[in-house]
Chain A
Amino acid sequence: MNDRLSLAPDAARQLATATKTAPQMLGTTPRYLLRALPWVDLKSGVYRVNRRRTFVLGDDRIATHSDGGSPRVVPGDLRELPYLREADESLLTELADAFTEVRFEPGQVLAQEGDPADRLWIIVQGRAEKRVTGRYGEEQLIDVIGDGQFFDLGAWTREEATPYRVQALTPGLALCAERRALAALADRDENVCGSLAAYASGNGLRPGSEVPVDLTSGHVGEPDLPATYVDYEDTPREYHMTLAQTILRVHTRVHDVYSGDFDQTRQQALLTIEALRERQEAALLNHPEFGLFHNVAPGQRVQTRTGSPTPDDLDELLARVWKQPGYFLAHPKAIAAFGRECTRRGVPPVTDNRFGSPLLTWRGVPLIPSDKVPFSNGVRANGAGGSAAAVGTTEILLMRLGEADRGVVGLRPGEVSDEVEPGLSMRNMGTDQKGITSYLMTAYFNTAVLVEDAIAVLQNVEVNNYHDYS
């Protein structure tokens, strides 16, 4: 028995249509990095970055591994020491064995200015600062060093006095080697002895600096002019297209019958494109070979002074990429942490509209957020899953952009068949026996840092410090 007086909504629904949204996707981010990067369209598959010859190499870090709870130097990584670059693995293992473990506490002085540098320190974990006494007796901070960094190679090798004082900022762990271990090595091997002598009498050429072009200037009279040429790297770095790929399957029945209002295949493709682009941004940042975080040169890595990202730290980064800095790139949590540090100091950063959104800037350089910036050494919080977990330390990147300014560029193919977006193809692979149509969806991309000083990174950024402003 129906006691309603009018038509029920449920019944009315049978006659009505619905206004539908296109499928929405939580995983979609603004992908500011992809938007900010200037893209170079490659005519061929390879991008070769030709450069002037430089003195190379390494990453200015000595890696360690844990061997039954105690840290050990990875012998091969001792080639970071310039004079051991050609050394045998056996020699390196011998030197690695000479390192002993040292634990330190905050405030502990690891090396005193003026003392003989009889030990080479490798910081396994922790942070310390290098200070010198200035010309008028005042304290001056020259550097903050962190995991993997070592000191002081020059003084240790030449058996000179340590040129600065090193004081621990955090509790930590280091490995030390006595000078006599190196001397023993040199006694045994002629090559090491030779290169050691050459290093000790070194003419001050910094690793990473370019082979000089001989010039003369300001002269009078008729001196013989220097003759020169500009040498190129023998094996310039080549970047190949990398890719993100998937096969999209759409049943022909679905496409044929349910494509009213929305073309099902197109909507599926649009969502797949979103996912491919997200993966692309993650790869551009984190790929072990070409990812931007893995292509920061020695000398371009800055440690935070106190852990939290402060205005001073970002200024330090700006000093590394002082030639036309383009964008900071950081995890949203790191940007929030930086905002808190600014609030605490009463220097609210200016916001600027870029890409249609307000972005925080520091010294006029926008900080673009990306949730693909990794956290390291993090202990996963309980039940943490998804993007909310922000435990451990993260990094803040600063980069200069564009081929013209010798900055960072994105690479993509100039033309791909079946292109639906630049560098992204959607190729029909045919319909199978089950009536399912497959589309091969491929995004081709890469990124290149044209010269080392185009990019710098602030490391060991902690994002979980909060202040009481009251």
Chain B
Amino acid sequence: MTTPDVPDLRALLRAPAQVPTQVPSAVSAPVPADVPAVTAPTAPGTPAAPGMSAAPAPVPTASPEDALAALPTTAPGGFTPEQARKDVPILHRTVNGHPLVWLDNGATTQKPRQVIEALSAYYGAANSNIHRGAHTMAREATELYEAGRTAVAELLGAASPENIAFVRGTTEGINLVAQSWGRSVLQPGDEILVPVLEHHSNIVPWQLLAKETHARVVPVPLTPEGEIDQKAYADLLSARTQLVVVSQASNVLGTVPPVAEMAALAHRYDARVLVDGAQAVAHMPVDVQQLGADFYVFSGHKLFAPTGIGALYTAPGMTEAMRPWQGGGNMIESVSFERTTFAPMPHLLEAGTGHISGVVGLLAAIDWLRSFDREAVAAYENALMAYATQTMATVPGLEVIGSAAERIAVLTFTLAGHDPASVADWLDRDGIAVRAGHHCAQPALAHYGLESAARASFALYNTSDEVDQLVASLRRMRAGA
């Protein structure tokens, strides 16, 4: 895969190159293990953020000493959370008089300066429609758009950019597969296996499709730990199974199921596999070919890119069964009232003018993410998760839901005597943003007999100090302060 001309275009947009961000990484690599806890409280004060008057949140007094010893360490080789924080302006504002602690990354991530500037630069210097009009601006915009496609293909380990179609987000990607592939393939009596763990956007489109085609949506149960019951899954597969859908990481429990094994088994039943990467893609390196995914979808806004842009990966063999989804410009080869021929994939799925600036932002976000060592990011998030799990366990009455062996940095919890909405409200007063509600995964919560819960979801720019602030605030709430 090549990316011709891309560096020039990026220079045109004056998008910040990766070079500066890599320099501090080399410098800060040998920083001692406890640095994040020491430096993080001062970080919000350093930029000239307005209204920055409140004192930092008090350090929790009852933090267990051994848990402190397990503080996330600065991973060697090209990543520190400070480095990432430095790039994200919003993390330096205050909320309700406190420095913002953004722990709602499962809902959306905050955007680095590089992405924000790329959008502005695109509209300031390079705006044009793509694939149309033989002028320099159109050509450049097209090249930029296709560079974004190539970057996504590289991010996902796809064989070719032709396997990537741009969509609005994960939800649109799933609906596209349901309408384009599902409606042409599913027959009455066919089965779609959907784990109970799934997000509503990975349940409802299949219910709608099943209703239309008289196929059946078969739920795959969870174990008490919150993992997909693999024995039940193997049992439910049959020659009638046409599709297995699975999230690479759950938005509620953080569970990371063995997708590659599940896909391999599904393929033995000649079933297709759709992987929802919305939560996973920002947290772990992805290789769709190694996963064995036939479809892979993700949203850009959970990957530090703007909202309204996402991508759908379609495995090379799947294109024959895909029929046009939306008709319009860009998806055709020729149109007449006698006969209309369609453009090849992926343009077949991209009717109308795409979200070009979104793709530019996504490209900048991928560049930003790729400037870090992805393995180091994953290791850091795991360490942060381990630290958060330990310290949150010290809050009386707090119960973390799910205990899967493999999980991303998502902690969904309940606090005895307080409903989740009031917990989120309380934390918000301390400038801590967590989500409360059903997290668009009511079946998964129902598995635990719950209707709603609070959720803290972490990203690479979160620090152990923010975990401490969260725990301290929860303790104060618990103490009735």
Contacts and interface: CB of A to CB of B under 8 A. Distances in A.
Contacts of A266: 187
A39 to B, nearest CB: 8
A420 B240 CA distance: 10
A269 interface: yes
16 contacts: A20-B188, A21-B188, A22-B188, A22-B189, A35-B235, A262-B189, A263-B187, A266-B187, A270-B239, A270-B240, A273-B239, A419-B270, A421-B268, A421-B270, A422-B269, A424-B239
A421 B188 contact: no
Contacts of B238: 421
Q: Bin the interface of chain B by size.
A: 10 to 19
A20 B187 CA distance: 11
Nearest to A22: B189
A139 interface: no
Given A269-B239, A422-B268, A422-B269, 13 more contacts: A19-B214, A21-B188, A35-B235, A262-B189, A266-B187, A273-B239, A419-B268, A420-B239, A420-B270, A421-B238, A421-B239, A421-B268, A422-B265
A294 to B, nearest CB: 26
A261 interface: yes
B188 A261 contact: yes
A266 B265 CA distance: 20
Interface string B185-221: 0011100000000000000000000000010000000
Interface string B161-191: 0000000000000000000000000011100
Nearest to B236: A356
A388 B235 CA distance: 28
Nearest to A39: B234
Nearest to B269: A421
A19 B235 CA distance: 29
Nearest to B267: A419
Most buried by A among B187, B214, B239, B240: B239
A355 interface: yes
B181 to A, nearest CB: 16
Interface of B: 187-189, 214, 235, 238-240, 265, 268-270
Q: Bin the interface of chain A by size.
A: 10 to 19
Interface string A269-298: 110010000000000000000000000000
Contacts of B239: 269-270, 273, 420-421, 424
A35 B34 CA distance: 52
Nearest to A36: B235
Given A419-B270, A420-B269, A422-B268, A261 B187 contact: yes
Contacts of A261: 187-188
Contacts of B235: 35, 355
B60 to A, nearest CB: 44
Nearest to B270: A420
B186 to A, nearest CB: 11
B129 to A, nearest CB: 42
A269 B238 CA distance: 12
A208 B235 CA distance: 35
Contacts of A19: 214
Interface string A11-47: 0000000011110000000000001000000000000
Closest 3 CB pairs of A and B: A22-B189, A422-B268, A35-B235
Contacts of A21: 188-189
Contacts of B188: 20-22, 261-262
Interface in A334-390: 355
Contacts of B214: 19
Contacts of A269: 239
B232 to A, nearest CB: 8
A355 B231 CA distance: 10
A226 B468 CA distance: 61
Contacts of A355: 235
A262 B235 CA distance: 25
A143 B189 CA distance: 53
Contacts of A420: 239, 269-270
A260 B404 CA distance: 44
Interface in A208-267: 261-263, 266
Contact of B187 (A262, A419, A424): A262
A20 B214 CA distance: 10
A424 B268 CA distance: 9
B153 to A, nearest CB: 29
A422 B266 CA distance: 9
Contacts of A419: 268, 270
A269 B240 CA distance: 10
Nearest to B213: A261
A266 B188 CA distance: 11
A35 B270 CA distance: 19
Contacts of A262: 187-189
A180 B430 CA distance: 99
Nearest to A35: B235
B359 to A, nearest CB: 39
A269 B270 CA distance: 13
Nearest to A32: B235
Nearest to A412: B268
